Structure 1
């Protein structure tokens, strides 16, 4: 990411206008036909094998185009199946690199204008801080746009529930950006567990090295200084739906927002969507019935410096109840039974404890292994029974959107919203300092009515869901 803002001369002017009545593609085609009196040959006829003409590509509007958004856009463009027709970022310095690579895309600062006014968009990619995910996603779905949104899906439990509802009603194609959900490792883990390789699973441990070197805002009080807002940043738009007034500070933006309750979901939101995904997918966990936590001191401004969160999931069909424990901020679980003394768990990962053995996998739904490693030498893997993703997580979404098949995007909101909702319940005992008895059907912490305002957010006028 550049260290300086683009000069005014090189920076495309922000616009809130929508696309014109006649697109550039239609203008070129119809003008050529009229001038020369012949039918224009479709580009896919003359473009060679594998060529996708612009008219058959998905037109994307991209909201949040620096950082993770830049990576999302680059990967989507490399598929050859999209046109980038609109870019939106409240911070022109953070978005400068992506903006310079797509000079023909219309530039917006306010995502609401992009969605409401630019009519040539088929789908949106949302890579903003967590607090904007739900308002932007729901607005886009209601406007008839397919949605790819970065993880975690939502900033609150109520938002996740509403996102699932709107996605189902819209019949549009959605996807959350937990790329490991397309992996071979995820599918192998489910196949092994379903085949009874380690018997009945009753315990799962999941961990991450975040925040660590990635951001250092957790465990800090809110800053009191009021530095000048950079002229490349629209701070009011950055705050977006946040109802309470917050003054700009570089401790929030860029990059450090994840450690603050108002904007992010801490290490859990950053990495549990990756590292705990195999547990939810392989064990069909659903919602917890209670959650407890042990944490570093919590000031209710930034997240605690570390957390150990224990989820209890009731029995599901023939599967027994499961305890799942999440560790962050440098905390690690004990080594699983049978693990070699010289072997380390690694910075990110998950392991499953069954009554017949242990499965260990790396972070981001990595490849599973039996513990101890000696068991792998004699292990005969069960037959593959789950279809594989051969095109990658983002292209899976593109192809599903082009085909109009929401079920073909496997981390669509039908899966990722209940998953995110369950994970975020784990933040309630962190925030309120006590075990939480959870009523998923009614989205209620039955022993903590004070949590209602945290479960269902209040939004600033002009935003919301």
Structure 2
């Protein structure tokens, strides 16, 4: 591959653009975020859970010229606009019925349902030999993650986690900086997300949980619940704010770590932490008190062991009202990223925004000059045309996609371990990844394999 000479990125450009990632990936249609390549080989793709982000993912696949042959959603009203975009696609409410009726007419599926149903749908698809693109986080429990990773390997299907920034040029540039030693040995990463605070922390709405509501016409609420413990319908969590309720979503860390930590996770080959400690603000994790929802602010520290030539790395996650503290040598005219991260090395630091290390730049500026423009490291990672493109191209050409479940599963697990730690604030939980258990807290181990309600199994 020829070495390119990218235009240097300075701090002012970062300040102007770093915040765009959050808005861009939550507002623009998915097809606008990727290249528009017309493939000779057309895939037949089904979308499951299309009312929100899943609809954008389907749109990205359709924008590449593939066939959207079926759409499935338990809420016909919430999904109505997406249904209308594809008049030739067959419509379903139950994904199992869709698979039964469509059979080999489906090559792959795009899953955009709430977190608590990712695993059961992805597993069923893989059992039937379907390739899977699943929104992040991959699953809702550590056990689900492990089983999905094993199934992807067993059934030899192409998988992709929906952390779209993993396919960006900027994340590749960041990895190449780290590998070239631009900031020396990286020892600490501070990552954060301060977005959508009123979605993730539902403490003000806890008093409304017991209110009775009729299930809206057009919503199959029992199927929406899927495998989790039954709870009466509430507009508090259907169709949108389920992310703030722990029985369905994973709060800030569940929704964002797969985006924000992805650059450091890839560049440093982090794998699994050996310990996790959560600190929370004004929060009682007892489900009878505030544990049904996510705290207003957390600080979660993950200790990752040394690996190969890399030393140990401390990752500190901040969210809500708990921002990354400003380093003493940070430029006075630059803001700490609200949603983004700082990688600290013994020579300098890399600062970036959200998805895919958006707006990444090196500090101090003289170090940036040494590793940008004509001095940029050689491109060791091929540049690609988009996240859905990567998945589809991998299917057609018989290769692995970049954020396949072998990568996206362990990345998701970091978030899930953090969620467990939130239930035991102030305690250091020691994690044995091979044994899939905490070595010093049996109560925390009970959270690794939550029970499914009767009639459901993975």
TM-score (norm 1): 0.85
Shift of 1:379: 4.1
Partners of 2:410 and 2:397 in 1: how far apart? 24
Over 3 Å counting, the alpha-carbon distance change for 1:373 and 1:121 in structure 2 is same
Shift of 1:427: 1.4
Confirm whether residue 396 of structure 1 aligns to residue 387 of structure 2. Answer: no
Q: Given the alignment of the two structures, is residue 113 of structure 1 paired with residue 97 of structure 2, yes or no? A: yes
Q: CA deviation at 1:378?
A: 4.7
Which of 144, 148, 155 is 2:140 aligned to?
155
1:250 to 222, 235, 246: 235
Inter-partner Cα distance in structure 2 for 1:220 and 1:205: 30
Q: State the Cα distance separating 1:140 from its structure 2 match.
A: 0.4
- Assess if the C-alpha contact under 8 Å between 2:167 and 2:387 holds in 1: yes
Q: Which residue of 1 aligns with 2:123?
A: 138
- Tell whether the 8 Å contact from 2:184 to 2:346 is kept in structure 1 after alignment: yes
The separation in 1 between residues aligned to 2:80 and 2:200, in whole angstroms, is 22
Alignment of 1:64-213 (within 5 A): 64-80=49-65, 82-119=66-103, 120-213=105-198
- After the TM superposition, which segments of 4 or more aligned residues of structure 1 sit over 2 Å from their partners? 50-53, 213-222, 372-390, 460-464
8 Å CA contact 2:430, 2:438 repeated in 1:
yes
Which residue pairs with 1:33 in the alignment? none
Structure 2 counterparts to residues 53-72 of structure 1, below 5 A: 56-72=41-57
Q: In structure 1, how many angstroms separate the alpha carbons of the residues matched to 2:245 and 2:106?
A: 33
SS at match of 1:451: helix
Residue aligning to 1:444: 437
1:273-422 aligned within 5 A: 273-296=258-281, 297=283, 298=285, 299-364=290-355, 365-380=357-372, 381-405=375-399, 407=400, 409-422=401-414
Q: 1:294, 1:430 within 8 Å by CA — same for their partners in 2?
A: yes
**Alpha-carbon distance in 1 for matches of 2:129, 2:150:** 15
Q: 2:212 aligns with which of 205, 219, 226?
A: 226
Pick one of 416, 426, 434 that aligns with 1:424.
416
Q: How far is the alpha carbon of 1:339 from its aligned partner?
A: 1.3
CA contact (8 A) 1:361 1:369 kept: yes
Q: Which residue of 2 aligns with 1:435?
A: 428
Q: Which runs of 5+ in 2 are unaligned?
A: 1-36
The 8 Å contact of residues 38 and 64 in structure 2, kept in 1 or not, is answered as: no
* Partner Cα separation in structure 1 for residue 334 and residue 75 of structure 2: 44
Q: Whole-Å Cα distance in 2 between the matches of residues 248 and 447 of structure 1?
A: 37
Task: State the aligned residue count.
Answer: 410
Distance in 1 separating the partners of 2:131 and 2:38: 23
Deviates more, 1:116-125 or 1:260-269: 116-125
Compute the displacement of 1:220 (Å).
4.7
User: Is 1:338–1:371's contact at 8 Å kept on the other side of the alignment?
Assistant: no
1:239 is aligned, of 207, 214, 225, to 225
* Contact persistence 1:140–1:146 (CA under 8 A): yes
User: Which has the greater radius of gyration?
Assistant: 1
Structure 1, gaps ≥5 residues long: 1-49
Instruction: Find out whether 1:456 has 2:456 as its counterpart.
Output: no
What is the CA deviation profile of residues 258-294 of structure 1, one whole-angstrom value per residue up to 9, with x for unaligned ones?
0111100110011111000011100011110000011
Question: Aligned pair in 2 of structure 1 residues 215, 439: CA closer, same or farther (>3 Å)?
Answer: closer
Distance 1:448 1:319, change over 3 A: same
Q: Which has the higher contact order (CA 8 A, sep 6+)?
A: 2
